[in-house]
Amino acid sequence: MDTSELRAFCAAVSAGSLSAAARQLGISQPGLSRRVQRLEDELGVTLVIRGAGGIRLTHAGQRFLTFATRTLAEYDAIRAEARFPAGAMTGTIGIVASTTPGEYLVPELVARFVDEQPGVKTREFVTDSAGVARHLLHNDRWDVGFSGRRVNHPRLCYEPIGQDEIVLAAPSSHPLAERSAVAVDDLAGQRLIQREEGSGTQQTFVDTLAAHGLAVPPQPAAITLGSSGAVLSAVEAGLGIGVVSLRAVEHHASQVRALRVVGVPVVRSLYVVHVTDRDHPAHVRAFVEFVLDVGRGRDDAG
C-alpha cells in the first residue's frame, strides 16, 4: 500500500467514476484501476462497486475512505513540514502559463502551495505555449511556466507533470453531440472554432491527425480565438465545433459535449518550465519542487 494508491482511491470516490478520476490525476484509466485493485487485493475486500453509471462505495470502502483521507492529510502535512517549515518562506513567484494549465491546473497548485507557505505570493499571466517560452526567456519577472507544448530551446527545461486529452466540443443540441466519437470525414462542412497559432492545444490536434495520415476536411471559414473559454463560449452560441482540452469541456458539461476522433487518441503532456541558467530564490525552487512532487504522484505506477 502506498500513497499513490490511496490518492487514486480518494480521487475515484470524489470524482464518482474511475475515468473522471484518471483525468483529474493525469493518468490512464487502466493505471488508476490497477491502483484501486491493488488496494482491494491487499486488503482482501471490495472497496467500490463498478457500474455503467460510475462507482459506489461498499461498507468496507466507506470505512477505508476515512482511513485514507486521514492518512494522506497527515502524510502531506509531515512532508511539507519536513521540506520547508510552515510559513518560513516569503517572496513573490511570477507564473506564466498556457491556457489549459493556466485555467485548470495552476490555480489548484498555487492554492495548495500557498496554504503551506502563506508568506509567498504569486503573480500570474495566461498566454499560449509559445508565449510561455518567450516570457520566460526575455522577461525575468516570470520565474516558472506551465505549458502544453515543448518549445525547443537550450535554456528551457520542460518537466512533465501530467497528461491532457484534446477533444472536439459540440453544442449539446448539435446532431453530432449524440455520439461519443466521430470520424474526421464527419467534420466536412462544419465550421471549426480553433485556437490561435502558437497554441499547444491546436498544434497537438493538428500534429496528431497528421501522424495518422488525417486532416480536417474543407469547411466554412474557421473561427480563431485566443483561449479555451472563448472557444467554448462560441461553441455554446452554436457557431461551430471547437478544439479544446477535455478539462475545459468538463467545466461546461451541461451545454457542451466532448467528441473524440475515432481511432485517434489526442493526448499530450503538461509541463512545468523553468530557465536552467537563472538563479532562482528559495521560494521559487520550493514551488517547482512542490509541483514536481504533485506530478510524481500522478505518474502511472503501472
Among residues 207, 245, 199, which one has the least CA distance to residue 225? 199
| 205 and 255 both lie in a single domain | yes
| 145 and 285 both lie in a single domain | yes
Please enumerate in sequence order all residues whose Cβ is within 8 A of that of 2, keeping only pairs 6 or more positions apart, or say none: 301
Distance (Å, rounded) from C-alpha 250 to C-alpha 70? 28
| 29 and 116 both lie in a single domain | no
Residue pLDDT, tens place only, 91-121? 999 999 999 999 989 999 999 999 888 999 9
Q: How many other C-beta atoms can be found within 10 angstroms of the C-beta atom of residue 128?
A: 26
76's grid cell:
502531506
Does 176 have pLDDT greater than 60?
A: yes
Residue pLDDT, tens place only, 121-135? 999 999 999 999 999
Q: Please give the residue range of the domain that contains residue 113.
A: 91-162+268-298
Q: Using pLDDT thresholds of 50, 70 and 90, give the confidence band for residue 46.
A: very high
Residue pLDDT, tens place only, 245-260? 998 898 777 889 999 9
Q: Tell me the DSSP string of 98-118.
A: EHHHHHHTHHHHHHHHHHH-T
Distance (Å, rounded) from C-alpha 271 to C-alpha 153? 14
pTM beyond 0.75: the answer is no
| 156 and 280 both lie in a single domain | yes
Residue pLDDT, tens place only, 2-41? 888 998 899 888 888 888 888 777 788 888 899 999 999 9
